[in-house]
Amino acid sequence: QSVLTQPPSVSAAPGQKVTISCSGSSSNIGKNYVSWLQQFPGTAPKLVIHDAYKRPSGIPDRFSGSKSGTSATLVITGLQTGDEADYYCGTWDSTLSAYVFGSGTKVTVL
């Protein structure tokens, strides 16, 4: 069972919005920055959000992140078929002295 909790799946029609939640605790999200990764089957993970809300160069502004207390959120607006992938949140856990990932959320474009 993952330390960070994500919904197994979310879906929406093209052009719509999806929201992915990531729930943790005071030892991880509550005191450390969150990153979000996108992974297509058979390929390496790709960083889409770091430090809770910052986008790396090349990531469209359709991707946005936020954090409040012990939870973080990834929002994808203007959903495209090319956004269909697995998305993971991750952060350092100060109690475990280990990096932890959420269980992953599969985004489906209807």
The binding site for another protein (CB under 8 A) comprises 2, 32-33, 35, 37, 39, 43-47, 50-51, 56, 86, 88, 90, 92, 96-104
Compute the least distance from the CB of residue 12 to another protein, in Å: 22
Q: Which is nearer to another protein, 45 or 70 (CB)?
A: 45
Residue 109 CA to residue 81 CA, distance in Å, equals 6
Q: Which is nearer to another protein, 47 or 75 (CB)?
A: 47
List of residues 6+ apart from 105 with CB closer than 8 A: 6, 7, 8, 9, 10, 20, 86, 87, 88
65, β-bridge pairs: 74
Compute the least distance from the CB of residue 16 to another protein, in Å: 25
